[in-house]
Structure 1
Amino acid sequence: MAAVRSLLARLSKYSGLSEERLRHTEIEPAALLELLVVRRHAERTGGSAEAAVLAVVREVAQWLTPTDRLIIDAALCLGLWRDRSDVGVDLERLYADNLGERREALTEQWIALHAHLDVDPAPETPTVKRLRTALEHAAFTALAGLLAAESGYPTAQPTVAAPTVPPAQRGVVTVFGDAVIDHIYRVDDFPTPASPASGRFTDRPGGKGLNRAVAAARLGINVHLVCAVGGDEYGRRIHEFLEAQRVHLDLVKMVPSAPSLVTAVVLAPNGEFQMISCRDTRMQLQEEDLHRPELRAALESSDVVILTFEQPPAVIEQVLSTVSQLHPKPTVIVCPSPSMVAPQGLYQYLGTVDYLVGTTTELAALLPDAFAASADDVVRLLRRLGIGSVCTVENFRCVVASDTVNTIVDHFPHVLRAAVGAAAAFTGALAYRLVNSRTALTADDYVWAAAAMILTQHLGTFATTVPGIEEIDRIVDLFAPPS
């Protein structure tokens, strides 16, 4: 770490860090070029080690504290603000060729830059001398620590292992969806205009994408989550949570200077809940994100792709189009959303969808202009559009309609009406059976997936309620219908 810190500090002189500087500097750059995260990035992208250094440093810098991030950005001339047209600061001076001028510009715009990072109040504005000595040393120490420790790099590959799953059974699942912070309000009853509610508040990582990724990872599957998080404390919490749950982080996009998404969840004692989702276009995946070589490699190695409808329609269409062209094509599970707007453009890709998993309301939202007299009509219309299997999942009950299986799983007793994360547990368990099945799924596979929902009734954090293999097996055995 000391060697990396010293090298970065020396490279900050003059015009800062660049590929050209690394290739032609009189300073020996081996301490950076030989970092594990740099070599992995170069291998994944097929680029040079010098290009990988710049990309890795720019990305890792986003995970520093706001003040350290600003100092590193100016010192190394990383240009993290260049794509922001609304900053309102002098970027030419902040990224000048001379380090001294960059330091002066940073101190002069200290308050404004911190405000753009939602730091209020900002730390006391330092003198250039204090910036040059104590503050830069501390910031370079923090950056070097993240670079030297594999776990500090968002695209590092954590080891995925589950003692209960033999290596031969482990597969690969790629999940597209949101990762948010859930603000959870546990109330005695839902509020009304005449009766405000009282309750307790907590928050935790959540989101359709994150919950399904964690559910699959808990069952021993190698899971990649494709999502965007903000460059704030919530974003770091989401990152740390995913890492702790052994979800790969290489496709988690960090958006600098943007807040992570927050969802309000009002939770009643019987498990029913109401939600308010806050959207922000800055936190959506863009079409260019889908062309990353790391994503292509993940899709090509995937046994299953899980796609939630939380991203823009153009991104959803591009994912389905890309997956449809893969040989062999991974199994596709789609989890729709009732807030999906104008889904008709997706109809041409529905033949790519092997499993559609959602509530009655979510499934009906896919057919906004079609007349359907019943939930069964909705399912028949969706299957007519090319979807292989439709799973209607709500209130711990599962109804399956496909060419080979038509069944209703409704024999598991439950004490609540609903549970946050139940659908995610079902989808994760379904992905596990798909990964480990050598034949087409049978009714028993859907029973096993439905059993995963029962354990989410504990109403704790999703990380503690999402079940493992042995727990699901126990529920299946405990409530097996009499023969």
Structure 2
Amino acid sequence: MVQQDSRTVAIRNILTRLSKRSGLSADRLRTTEIDVAPLLDLPVIQERAQQDGKSPQEAVLPVVTELARQLDPTNRLIADAELSLGLLREKHPAGIDLARLYAADLGERREYLTAQWRSLHEAIGAESIPDAPSVRSLRATPERRAFTALAGRLAAASTYSLSNYRFTPEPKVRIALPDSPSHPGVVTVIGSAVIDHIYRVHNIPSAGKSTPGNFEVHAGGKGLNRAVAAARLGLRVRLVSAVGDDDAGRHILNYLAAENIDTDLVTVVPEAQTNVTAVMITSTGVSSKIGCEDDRLWQGAHDMRDPRLRDELESSDAILLTFEQPADAIRRVLAAVRGMTHPPALVVHPSPPVESPQYLYEYLDAVDYLVGTPWELHRMMPVGSAAGPDDAQRLLSLGVRAVCLTDGFRCTVRSADVNADISDFPVALEDSPGAAAAFSAALAYQLVTARRPADEPAFRWATAAMVATQSFGDIPNAMPSIRDIDRIIQLAGERPAGA
């Protein structure tokens, strides 16, 4: 299960108690006997109050309403009705009695919510609709889950006190439910979780030059981005990573909790600082990065020889591995998967490149799918090798089952069974920094749902996931849903021949 810090639990309990009677309002916060100080003291509430020139009590409702809009449909409906937020007042759905949905009594709101469960989900465009709970069962797990998700977002929208930068609230959350039987499979992601400093610029300046731009701070990292992308597709996801015992690390854990990503294997390393990456992104989507890393993080992370970690890997349906950890740890992961009787599908992104890739060659027969840009895949060749179109064949000869070259929003696949060049999707940008994560997660989704090796349509769907990420910077929240990817597939199918 996802770990929850004490602040998230405290905020959840406050929201649960505030749902009683007529719901959440500034007057209720002023007059309630509930200790609401932990809610009013949240940085996002204090900043909103200062920005709007209002009291913290007056700032709570607009902040909670904004974050509630970003929950998955079921959690959003529960939070909306029980706190009487009024999210459906702007566009009144036909057939919905808003007077009953936002009644002055919580009991009446619960009754109407359960009675109109399917109609309300359909009204907000839910892709899947769980069975309607009874009023009694609604008061147990569904309410707790909804208020935990909302509290996690409130806690995650916090101040980055190390450098006085504000973490902007992460939009468009699509929460996966870890204990839902509808999950098609379990994916374990091994990679970094960092803080991304996002600089949106017109162009990346050359030496001695400057350029105007905008700046934001978000959770990120190759591992975290893949974990979020897989969770957005409805998979059960756990992340193997490490963060520092600092505000940035706590922000990342809160963000992962809000996404319902299992963080039991995310190590908090004492006295280490969470890694930071500066990302410059141009108006065409091209990016450049600067990594600031604390070597103590991976040294204090989970040892791949730990039997518990090996058991978690073996119980996965798919593993997504990046090369962000030390080479010894990479070798141990590959060796562990190679030695399993029934290994999960292994999708590897060899980034950042390792200095001596030949030391990994004896384990490459454990790799089902090697995914990377032409430059990243060429760096898997011995130093001094000439780049060329035969790099994919060389990697196949070393035991890799399929090589996927991703370049912009195009994909070339080479394997014993598939020989495909996928480049016919309409795009607006040259590149997107979240594309690689979306491809790997979408490929994992195809593998665990189909329960067979990927065919050309599976690679095409994963390529469409890259196209669906076209974004200027907020990488994890650019990760697409199933509906987003299907829409790209449909648009490509509607294009005239040769367009």
Query: Which residue of structure 2 lines up, in the alignment, with residue 453 of structure 1?
Result: 466
Query: Which residue of structure 2 lines up, in the alignment, with residue 197 of structure 1?
Result: 211
The 3-state SS of whatever aligns with 2:260 is coil
Query: Which residue of structure 2 lines up, in the alignment, with residue 414 of structure 1?
Result: 427
State how 1:243-392 maps to structure 2 within 5 Å: 243-285=257-299, 289-369=303-383, 371-374=385-388, 376-392=389-405
* Aligned residue type for 1:276: I
Contact 1:285 1:311 in 2 (8 A): no
- Choose the corresponding residue for 1:427, options 440, 448, 467: 440
Query: Which residue of structure 2 lines up, in the alignment, with residue 444 of structure 1?
Result: 457
Cα gap change, 1:208 to 1:287, in 2 (>3 Å): closer
Q: CA deviation at 1:341?
A: 1.4
Deviations 1:182-221 (A, max 9, x none): 1111112111234311111111011111111111111111
Q: CA deviation at 1:244?
A: 1.1
* Aligned residue type for 1:383: L
Q: CA deviation at 1:312?
A: 0.4
Query: Which residue of structure 1 lines up, in the alignment, with residue 490 of structure 2?
Result: 477
Query: Which residue of structure 1 lines up, in the alignment, with residue 240 of structure 2?
Result: 226
Distance 1:291 1:439 in 2: 29
Q: CA deviation at 1:406?
A: 0.6
Distance 1:191 1:287 in 2: 36
Contact 1:217 1:247 in 2 (8 A): yes
* Aligned residue type for 1:392: L
Query: Which residue of structure 1 lines up, in the alignment, with residue 412 of structure 2?
Result: 399
Distance 2:269 2:183 in 1: 35
* Aligned residue type for 2:425: F
Contact 2:274 2:297 in 1 (8 A): yes
The 3-state SS of whatever aligns with 1:458 is coil
Stretch moving more, 335-344 or 430-439 = 335-344
Query: Which residue of structure 2 lines up, in the alignment, with residue 242 of structure 1?
Result: 256
* Aligned residue type for 2:403: V
State how 1:12-23 maps to structure 2 within 5 Å: none
Contact 2:178 2:236 in 1 (8 A): no
The 3-state SS of whatever aligns with 2:238 is strand
Deviations 1:341-374 (A, max 9, x none): 1121111100100100001111011113363451
* Aligned residue type for 2:455: T
Q: Greater CA radius of gyration, 1 or 2?
A: 1
Distance 1:385 1:370 in 2: 18
Query: Which residue of structure 1 lines up, in the alignment, with residue 177 of structure 2?
Result: 161
The 3-state SS of whatever aligns with 1:306 is strand
| Gap regions ≥5 residues in structure 2 | 9-146, 153-174
Deviations 1:221-277 (A, max 9, x none): 111110000111110111011111121010000011211000010111111011111
Q: CA deviation at 1:286?
A: 5.5
The 3-state SS of whatever aligns with 1:190 is coil
Distance 2:357 2:182 in 1: 39
Distance 2:219 2:282 in 1: 19
* Aligned residue type for 1:402: S
Distance 2:258 2:400 in 1: 35
Distance 1:313 1:304 in 2: 21
Percent of aligned pairs with the same amino acid: 44
The 3-state SS of whatever aligns with 1:284 is helix
* Aligned residue type for 1:304: A
Query: Which residue of structure 1 lines up, in the alignment, with residue 123 of structure 2?
Result: none
Distance 2:384 2:207 in 1: 35
Cα gap change, 1:329 to 1:448, in 2 (>3 Å): same
Deviations 1:23-74 (A, max 9, x none): xxxxxxxxxxxxxx9xx9xxxxxxxxxxxxxxx9xx989x9xxxxxxxxxxx
1:465 to 2:478 alignment? yes
The 3-state SS of whatever aligns with 1:356 is strand
Deviations 1:281-333 (A, max 9, x none): 11115686224444233212101111100000000001111111222111111
Contact 1:251 1:294 in 2 (8 A): no
Distance 1:160 1:477 in 2: 25
TM-align CA RMSD: 2.9
Distance 1:427 1:469 in 2: 14
Distance 2:193 2:302 in 1: 19
Query: Which residue of structure 2 lines up, in the alignment, with residue 127 of structure 1?
Result: none
The total of aligned residue pairs comes to 336
Contact 2:285 2:471 in 1 (8 A): no
Query: Which residue of structure 1 lines up, in the alignment, with residue 139 of structure 2?
Result: none
Q: CA deviation at 1:465?
A: 1.5
Q: CA deviation at 1:402?
A: 0.5
Contact 2:200 2:472 in 1 (8 A): no
Contact 1:400 1:406 in 2 (8 A): yes
Q: CA deviation at 1:339?
A: 3.8
Distance 2:284 2:451 in 1: 39
Contact 1:169 1:435 in 2 (8 A): no
1:175 to 2:175 alignment? no
The 3-state SS of whatever aligns with 1:429 is helix
Give the TM-score of the pair, scaled to structure 1. Answer: 0.65
Distance 1:285 1:251 in 2: 14
Distance 1:285 1:223 in 2: 23
Distance 2:416 2:183 in 1: 26
